[in-house]
A and B are shown apart, each in its own frame.
Chain A
């Protein structure tokens, strides 16, 4: 698109890579007709680190810390997906205790990721206050992570076959206290935003994506649920014991930016519900399955996907029976969801592009890998 000839009224504008609202180093080439966007083109790769290639040169256990660095806002979900994939390759399942703890941490991570999204998205739209409130609550989640595994962001919390770290004293109490406090805090965010006339005016009807569009583009996660499709891997293909918990999949019908906001808010409430159920019934028992010290899976290939905060996160591993994977392929939700930008932004105003990029909830570490 960048190479095509422009007619006299058209203008090409570079947004990014240093634009603050592109949430990282994303460059969007906008084709403009006055204030109207007639097409977008994403230039990615500024944060490319070759994670998939690194995977081919590391043993299975060694590669686990690297996956945390893809979606660094949801490192726990990344680690969970990778561990599940290798476990499937080895044909082991994590013991029930490990599964419950994994669910708790993954859901807390979903909350943290959505909180960060909400704060920065609101900041893009011009609401400064929510950022401080959401980061305050995110801090509580990060404290739980730090107490559990010693790191706040790139956690490396799980190991292949289960958990390495024991639960610390007071884990349950801390998590329950967080749940208690957090539900009221979600109400606070809603007080500030849901009815706020500026928020509503900026978001309603902006960046509409129909269910059909979502299916065509492979969009997943909260974006597809905002378009009315009840698709959530936690229900569709339950993993790590999600089938035991009672929760709903929030959906909306319009598929605009406002609906995506509502879906994510509702998802945070559902996550609290799951965490509550899980933390009150952590089974006793071992927390590590029988996994050989040297992980050498039989030749074969697996695809395992989990519902990361941003959508379907899939790992495709090919093993040739040696110590290293033959091929690692990651299906990052942000990368696929970003493809919807062109369809959402066409016909919008430049100011709306900021809202639309924010609503996709991308993390460039995951887009570029």
Chain B
């Protein structure tokens, strides 16, 4: 039996049969990327966003600096001033160096008020290193991609 199988190329035919069975696959895994944007998972860790209060447009960030402390790459810089009237800290500057970020999510976990969030946006390519350093405005509004077509 084994010999007959060997003479009749049984092993090769079995493999070929399998190959031809999958000629018209039901699920196609290749993504047609620019034409069809993939839907990433809800928990995807992509471009950062600094959330604002939708009713009055003020930032949710309380300048606690926790995100900057936990970041392993030390790429977040938070600058704030103490407001003498409310005795709270007001956010002045917030920079986030995307080029060094590894999207580990530690900053997002640390934020006590859910101000900093890693969103589902994954198109982060840019033309310069400086362009990868996002300031507060960019973090609040999101990137403005240029469309060439």
Stretch at the interface among B14-22, B83-91, B128-136: B14-22
Interface size class of B (residues with CB under 8 A): 20 to 34
Q: Is A10 interfacial (CB 8 A cutoff)? A: no
Q: Note all chain B residues with C-beta closer than 8 A to A156.
A: 104-105
Q: Is A150 interfacial (CB 8 A cutoff)? A: yes
Q: How far is the CA of A61 from the CA of B40 in the complex (A)?
A: 27
Q: Known interface pairs A151-B103, A154-B102, A197-B11. Does A146 touch B72 (Cβ–Cβ under 8 Å)?
A: no
Q: Known interface pairs A129-B19, A136-B29. Does A65 touch B45 (Cβ–Cβ under 8 Å)?
A: no
**Nearest CB in chain A to that of B104: its residue:** A65
Stretch at the interface among A40-48, A112-120, A187-195, A244-252: A187-195
Restricting to A146-191, which residues have a CB under 8 Å from any CB of B? 146-151, 154, 156, 164-165, 168, 188, 191
Let me know if B45 and A63 touch, CB within 8 A. Answer: no
Q: Is B75 interfacial (CB 8 A cutoff)? A: no
Let me know if B29 and A150 touch, CB within 8 A. Answer: no
Q: How far is the CA of A200 from the CA of B12 in the complex (A)?
A: 12
Q: Note all chain B residues with C-beta closer than 8 A to A191.
A: 14-15, 18
Let me know if B106 and A61 touch, CB within 8 A. Answer: yes
Q: How far is the CA of A87 from the CA of B143 in the complex (A)?
A: 40
Contact partner of A62 (CB less than 8 A), chosen from B40, B41, B72, B103, is: B72
Let me know if A150 and B18 touch, CB within 8 A. Answer: no
Let me know if B70 and A164 touch, CB within 8 A. Answer: no
Rounded to whole Å, the gap between the CB of A324 and the closest CB of chain B is: 11
Let me know if A146 and B106 touch, CB within 8 A. Answer: no
Q: Mask for B1-38, Cβ within 8 A of A = 1, else 0?
A: 00000100011101100110010000001000000000
Q: Is B43 interfacial (CB 8 A cutoff)? A: yes
Restricting to A59-75, which residues have a CB under 8 Å from any CB of B? 61-66, 69
Q: Known interface pairs A147-B41, A147-B43, A148-B43. Does A197 touch B109 (Cβ–Cβ under 8 Å)?
A: no
Q: Known interface pairs A63-B72, A150-B45. Does A196 touch B12 (Cβ–Cβ under 8 Å)?
A: yes
Let me know if A165 and B12 touch, CB within 8 A. Answer: no
Q: How far is the CA of A66 from the CA of B102 in the complex (A)?
A: 9
Q: Note all chain A residues with C-beta closer than 8 A to B70.
A: 61-62
Q: Is A139 interfacial (CB 8 A cutoff)? A: yes
Main secondary structure of the interface of A (DSSP, over half): helix
**Nearest CB in chain A to that of B17: its residue:** A191
Contact partner of A146 (CB less than 8 A), chosen from B14, B41, B104, is: B41
Contact partner of B15 (CB less than 8 A), chosen from A61, A65, A147, A196, is: A196
Let me know if B72 and A66 touch, CB within 8 A. Answer: yes
Q: Note all chain A residues with C-beta closer than 8 A to B44.
A: 146, 150-151
Q: Known interface pairs A66-B72, A136-B29. Does A197 touch B41 (Cβ–Cβ under 8 Å)?
A: no
Q: Is A58 interfacial (CB 8 A cutoff)? A: yes
Let me know if A65 and B14 touch, CB within 8 A. Answer: no
Q: Note all chain A residues with C-beta closer than 8 A to B40.
A: 146
**Nearest CB in chain B to that of A196: its residue:** B11
Let me know if A164 and B102 touch, CB within 8 A. Answer: no
Q: How far is the CA of A306 from the CA of B45 in the complex (A)?
A: 27
Q: How far is the CA of A192 from the CA of B15 in the complex (A)?
A: 5
Q: Note all chain B residues with C-beta closer than 8 A to A147.
A: 41-43
Restricting to B132-146, which residues have a CB under 8 Å from any CB of A? none
**Nearest CB in chain A to that of B22: its residue:** A133
Q: How far is the CA of A165 from the CA of B106 in the complex (A)?
A: 12
Interface residues of B (CB under 8 A from A): 6, 10-12, 14-15, 18-19, 22, 29, 40-45, 70-72, 102-106, 109, 118
Interface residues of A (CB under 8 A from B): 58, 61-66, 69, 129, 133, 135-136, 139, 143, 146-151, 154, 156, 164-165, 168, 188, 191-193, 195-197
- Apart from A66-B72, A196-B11, list 16 A-B contacts with CB within 8 A: A58-B72, A61-B70, A62-B106, A65-B106, A69-B102, A135-B29, A136-B29, A139-B29, A143-B41, A146-B43, A146-B44, A149-B105, A156-B105, A191-B15, A191-B18, A195-B11
10 tightest Cβ-Cβ pairs between the two chains A and B: A65-B104, A150-B43, A62-B72, A195-B11, A146-B41, A150-B45, A192-B15, A147-B41, A156-B104, A150-B44
Task: Jot down 12 A-B pairs with beta carbons below 8 A, ordered by A.
Answer: A61-B106, A65-B72, A129-B15, A143-B41, A150-B118, A151-B45, A156-B104, A192-B19, A195-B10, A195-B14, A196-B15, A197-B11
